[in-house]
Amino acid sequence: MILETAAQRRALLDRSRTVAMVGASANPSRPSYFVFSYLRTRAKFDLTPINPTIAEIDGVRAYPSLAAYAAERGAPDIVDVFRRPDEAPQVTREAIAAGAKAIWFQYGVINQAAIQLADDAGLDVVVDRCIKVESARFDGGLALGGMNTGLLTAKRRIR
């Protein structure tokens, strides 16, 4: 199902624990590194980088493929995609084969064939959204437009 509303995306994040980030980078100037670093340190997810060109990011072991990840760790709840749109159908096929429950296409990763493939396979699908921005927003740090709300609290949300 394509998740179009904020409530649907929040429910997905609330029920998910494992995220395999395809295309995560060890280069601090890349958006995928910033998102990985943020989610690893501030969110509730067990986050794993998927990238065949690196061994680890900040001490977290990277896997060369979703198949290698799934063989060792089981199916991820979410596959977060930081790849070019033309690579999205192949990543989607790999996510389906790995048994992922959802696929999250980051900003600009829009490929109709990949979206349809994931939807037809029964995955929850998020398109053209940032998992970091949505996670921060739902935890009280960002407004709908992505700006800091200035809301500070010591209360944790009960999950």
Q: What is the CATH number of the domain that holds 109?
A: 3.40.50.720
Count structural domains, the chain.
1
Cα first-last separation, the chain: 23
Q: Is residue 1 part of a domain?
A: no
How confident is the model at residue 157, as a pLDDT? 54
In a domain, 80, yes or no: yes
Amino acid letter at 115?
Answer: I
Question: What confidence tens digit (pLDDT) does each residue in 18-59 have?
Answer: 999 999 999 999 999 999 998 988 768 999 999 999 999 999
* Residue 20 within any structural domain of the chain: yes
Q: Within a domain: residue 103?
A: yes
d(CA 49, CA 32): 10
Give the pLDDT score at 43: 66
Q: What is the mean pLDDT of the segment spanning 77-102?
A: 97
Q: What is the mean pLDDT of residues 4-8?
A: 93
Residue 16 belongs to domain spanning: 6-138
Res. 90 pLDDT band, cuts 50 70 90? very high
pLDDT in tens, 107-153: 999 999 999 999 999 999 999 999 999 988 887 665 444 444 444 44
Specify if 146 maps to a domain.
no
Q: Give the dihedral sign, CA 94/96/100/103.
A: positive
pTM for the model stands at 0.86
| Structure tokens that stand for 37 in this block | 């670093």
Q: Is residue 157 part of a domain?
A: no
